[in-house]
């Protein structure tokens, strides 16, 4: 099920033998757009430390109880490797954390989550990767980043749509209401070319006109289902516009067909 990340914040975290706190935020991998850790607010139970929960340990989400099930005991969480709340998550800490639970090092395996291999066997590979960029980013930090299209800024990141069956980011919700006319739309990570932390920007392979024509987000479930179908179809198409070094748009036959498809999709979404 797709869920807005901000809605999951403050959901209770239920361990196998009692509550351990609430959802504070998420850390995601900006290379695979996968949630790597849920950050728990444990209140007075474990103060002054950052408590991370890997999706390996996450069960189902109960919306009636506002609860995320965690397949760990309170004792396992309390004895897990500790990191100060004001420190970033280093690769060295990740190795220690994953080794404690017996989970594989995801960065040494081509699979999104890493194959369930013997941890000691993968340790040697993990050490060699220890100095690589972790690619871990705070979701709360990225909210508010400006969206940079080919031809200028077109809004900002408002939220993320998370698939809670795989704990991956399916869409970035973009608020374009700071231009006229504006609306809430979503883009897929496939369209993101880079995220620059120094500029607080997300660069996308689209122009502003294409973003404006994307189907609008709705609270209505059926309309959103139709919107996602349109979005998936468009995501498989070539980029609608390429900008040459002169800054002028160059239309190829394939790109022209894509532009026509986008226009038709926008009209269907408005019905």
Q: What is the pLDDT of residue 49?
A: 84
**Burial class, 214, CB count within 10 angstroms (exposed 0-12 / middle 13-18 / buried 19+):** buried
CB 150 within 8 A of CB 207: yes
Q: What is the pLDDT of residue 133?
A: 58
pLDDT for 78-109, tens place per residue? 999 988 777 888 999 999 999 999 998 988 86
Report the C-alpha gap between 71 and 53 in whole angstroms: 10
Q: What is the pLDDT of residue 213?
A: 79
CB 189 within 8 A of CB 169: yes
pLDDT for 215-249, tens place per residue? 888 655 544 555 555 555 554 455 544 443 333 33
Question: Which residue bears the tokens 């996450």?
Answer: 58
Q: What is the CA radius of gyration of the chain?
A: 21
pLDDT for 12-65, tens place per residue? 999 999 999 999 999 999 888 999 999 999 988 998 888 999 999 999 999 999
Return the axis-axis angle of helices 91-101 and 119-128, rounded to nearest 10°.
180
From residue 43, give the alpha-carbon distance in Å to each of 36, 49, 98, 191: 22, 10, 24, 38
Pairing state between β 136-138 and 67-70: unpaired
Token pair for 28: 């995601």
Pairing state between β 192-196 and 201-204: antiparallel
198: left (phi over 0), alpha (psi -120 to 50) or beta: alpha
pLDDT for 114-147, tens place per residue? 555 444 444 445 444 444 556 788 999 999 999 9
Q: What is the pLDDT of residue 262?
A: 47
pTM: 0.77
């Amino acid at each position: 099920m797709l869920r807005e990340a901000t809605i999951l914040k403050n959901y209770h975290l239920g361990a196998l033998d009692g509550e351990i706190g609430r959802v504070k935020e998420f850390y995601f991998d900006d290379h695979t757009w996968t949630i790597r850790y849920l950050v728990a607010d444990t209140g007075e139970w474990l103060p002054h430390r950052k408590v991370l929960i890997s999706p390996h340990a996450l069960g189902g989400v109960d919306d009636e109880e506002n609860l995320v099930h965690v397949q760990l005991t309170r004792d396992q969480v309390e004895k897990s490797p500790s990191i100060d709340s004001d420190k970033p998550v280093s690769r060295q800490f990740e190795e220690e954390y994953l080794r404690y639970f017996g989970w594989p090092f995801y960065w040494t395996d081509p699979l999104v989550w890493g194959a369930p291999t013997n941890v000691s066997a993968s340790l040697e590979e993990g050490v060699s990767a220890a100095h690589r960029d972790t690619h871990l980013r705070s979701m709360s930090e990225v909210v508010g980043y400006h969206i940079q299209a080919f031809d200028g800024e077109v809004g900002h990141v408002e939220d993320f749509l998370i698939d809670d069956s795989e704990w991956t980011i399916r869409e970035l919700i973009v608020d374009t209401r700071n231009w006229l006319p504006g609306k809430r739309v979503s883009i897929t990570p496939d369209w993101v070319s880079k995220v620059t932390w120094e500029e607080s920007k997300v660069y996308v392979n689209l122009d502003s006109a294409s973003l404006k024509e994307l189907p609008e987000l709705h609270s209505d479930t059926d309309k959103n289902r139709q919107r996602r179908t349109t979005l998936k179809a468009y995501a498989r198409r070539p980029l609608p516009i390429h900008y040459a070094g002169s800054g002028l748009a160059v239309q190829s036959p394939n790109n022209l067909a894509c532009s026509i498809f986008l226009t038709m999709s926008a009209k269907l979404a408005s019905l």
